[in-house]
Amino acid sequence: MRHPRLGVAILTMGTRPAELLALLDSVAAQDTPATRVVVVGNGSPLPDLPEGVAGVELSENLGIPGGRNVAIEALREFGDVDVLVDLDDDGLLVGADVFTRLCALYEADDRLGVVGFRIVDERGRTARRHVPRLRASDPMRGGLVTTFLGGGHGLSMRMLDEIGGWPDPFFYAHEETDLAWRALDARWNVRYAPELVLRHPWTSPTRHAVYYRNLARNRVWLAKRRLPVLLVPAYLGVWAALTVARTRSGAGLRAWCAGFVEGVRTPCPPRRPMRWSTAWRMTRLGRPPLI
């Protein structure tokens, strides 16, 4: 593969203008420059952007996957991007060599579809939930995995051309897993690269008002869309048991149950279940499509 050309996409709801500009500064400081940078205002106006940064203002909030699909189309119009880098608007690239290292990974593997960054907080900690594997005690252990983090990652544009973009109806939660499973089923690789670091404030996912509902609804949709029929009840049963055991909020558990019922009752096409060989590949990578 020739030296890949990078395009950067950032979603914002207009609530963190100072953090957005700091992130753009960290993008501009990379020793391998991005070919294109696009900022999408997801239902909000954009602040003044640095020269060379394109802005797209949406009249309504399309959610994370919807907004990212808009960014993909904006970068496709330029026609000179090989790898898309998605970054949270309150993140900050740590080091000037992140893009150089990312390009080297794509140059070394022609079937590399997704590269997940390591997320650290202000004190350099990586939360357990930010390590995309079951054995998460060592956040510095990289390698091939079955999912990735939404806050900072690279996506092959060739892969997106083949498997499609983000699942718009999800709005928020599990959109990365849906995309990763499609990538794996199309024989693309998903890699966790802990040497690529994005600093992000220490936050809880429960800060989102729709967290519990979307978590459950989208989990059901994910299973209905992507799993062989025999795995659907097993996958949902495991996650229902884990949720009941882990959730300490009565209101959160009620919202989760309502979302689960909504997911069962409502369709989210298309249904394109993964091959059994893909399920076995995921098992060999350490995370079968049950957990």
pLDDT at 250 over 70: yes
Using CA atoms, how far apart are residues 180 and 189, in angstroms rounded to an integer? 9
Of 204-208, 242-246, 280-284, least confident by mean pLDDT is: 204-208
Span 274-285, pLDDT tens digits: 999 999 999 999
When pLDDT is averaged across residues 56-73 and rounded to a whole number, the result is 97
Q: What percent of the chain has pLDDT over 70?
A: 97
**pLDDT bracket for residue 73 (50, 70, 90):** very high
Span 23-40, pLDDT tens digits: 999 999 999 999 999 999
pLDDT at 206 over 70: no
**pLDDT bracket for residue 135 (50, 70, 90):** confident
When pLDDT is averaged across residues 180-190 and rounded to a whole number, the result is 98
pLDDT at 76 over 60: yes
- For the chain, the structural domain boundaries read 6-203, 208-274
When pLDDT is averaged across residues 137-160 and rounded to a whole number, the result is 96
CATH number of 6-203: 3.90.550.10
Using CA atoms, how far apart are residues 227 and 157, in angstroms rounded to an integer? 25
Using CA atoms, how far apart are residues 291 and 284, in angstroms rounded to an integer? 13
Q: What percent of the chain has pLDDT over 90?
A: 88
Cα 121 vs. chain centroid, distance in angstroms?
18
The pTM assigned to this predicted structure is: 0.94
Position 202 scores a pLDDT of 81
The average confidence (pLDDT) of the chain is 94
Position 205 scores a pLDDT of 64
**Sign of the C-alpha dihedral, residues 218, 224, 228, 234?**
positive
